[in-house]
Amino acid sequence: MLTTMSSSSSSSQPLLPPTPKLSTGASPATSLPVRTVPGSHGWPVLGPILDRLDYSWFQGPETFFRKRMEKYKSTVFRTNIPPTFPLFTGVNPNIIAVLDCKSFAHLFDMDIVEKKNVLVGDFMPSLSFTGNIRTSVYMDTSEPRHAQVKNFAMDILKRSSKVWIEELLGNLDTFWDQIEKEVSEKESSSYLFSLQGALFKFLMKSIAGADTSASPEMEESGYAMLNRWLALQLLPTVPISVAQPLPEIFLHSFAYPFFLVSGDYSKLYHFIKNQGKEVIQRGATEFGLSEEEVIHNILFVMGFNSYGGFSIFIPNLISRIGSDTTGLQEKLRKEVREKGGPSLTFDSVKQMPLVQSLVYETLRMSPPVPLQFARARKDFQLSSHDSVFEIKKGELLCGFQPLVMRDSKIFDDPETFKPDRFMGSGSKLLDYLYWSNGPQTGSPSESNKQCAAKDYVTLTACLIVAHLFTRFDSFTGSSSSITAVKSKSE
């Protein structure tokens, strides 16, 4: 019986097996039955096209995967995902979906899978978007350059901690000043672009050491340049539900050429080259990287991973708080003001268990990166909760995280948002929170592909929540707009 599809919890508590020890080719020490992976890729050309239409148009990603889970009575099955024919002739859409926590964990065992050029599946945007350099996210851990660039990224973050909080809180003050003004004048503030502007300035200074105040154009429009650069790389893979079939015909049928954003990217590149000299020099002298490698990797880490991820995650976090009607804001406000101390720091937010749990639960329910991929490095046996499957070398595994993170074998009442889920004994569930290309309890290193900024992301999100309740008693809002704020002084 497929319990991972249940939308409500049973009377018993969910099963919490130890973090799975993954097989590396030998038979697992388990009594689970061995099954052939169910499902199929369909007829050549036709099968991928039909799945593409379901995924991007008729069903949408979540329904697409749920219906196939139900059909095959399995959280592991074969299917196809976009992009596909007609003009993606060099892209193989065939995948094996892994949609429960146990099978999903195999995506992070670097002994049995590789991550070379599979950031967004078998499709890879043109290297022109990154200066004809394969940045670290496209590298497998077996590639010597991966260790150099990953260590450089972790070093940047470590050194940036000196200015990280100051830059974050300063830009948040400016952001909230603008929101308050707009709400007062218009009774509503559509805040996404203002948020992205604040994120761009904060990340440029913290990661690249580049002060946007030195360039009026970057100060005003840098975030928009990143938006366009990101959009053209990801548009072939992102479902668009409105105005169909036009998006499916005109937006999902071909890869986009770099020349459409080459001017934007050149400006971003040269801004970092001129303003981030200290970081560039350290990359060369301490990590053996060329100037071009340093700048293109900084732009990708900052623009794709950090800025892109925060631009999705923070609005979801604001929405969860701003739309709550259960008294969550009062609890958050009380915790923040009791434990925040005279000034907010990484250490102070570590003393706020509800704030941290809220951030983790938002990451569980709304992971900023919905899809994770890995390619089998060799033949091995993959285990789900109820079966074992033979995986062949070269097969592409794909996990859809919004469903994986609703695995009822692991999470009680998985469809319900519970801000305190990860508090107290619930902290053991962090072993299964995989938003960062690995478990929350894992540690980024040169030997894995876990997000170098994993801990910075969660602590930064906690700081954003804490800063909000040092300034306001309450607010009302969604993932796109703020409609009311009550200042602390009121």
Model-wide pTM > 0.85: yes
117: left (phi over 0), alpha (psi -120 to 50) or beta: left
Q: Is the pLDDT of residue 123 over 90?
A: yes
SS3 17: coil
Alpha helices (H) along 90-143 = 101-104
Residues 3-19 pLDDT 10s: 333 333 333 345 444 44
Please answer whether residues 402 and 393 qualify as being in contact, where contact means their C-beta atoms are separated by less than 8 angstroms: no
CA-based torsion, 286, 304, 362, 236: positive or negative: negative
The amino acid at residue 73 is K
Q: Which two tokens stand for residue 378?
A: 């060799």
Q: Where are the beta strands (DSSP E) in 139-208?
A: 189-190
Residues 245-279 pLDDT 10s: 998 988 888 999 999 999 999 999 999 999 999 99
b (16+ CB within 10 A) / e for 381-419: bbbbbbbbbebeeebbbbbbbbbbbbbbbbbbbbeebbb
Q: Is the pLDDT of residue 25 over 60?
A: no
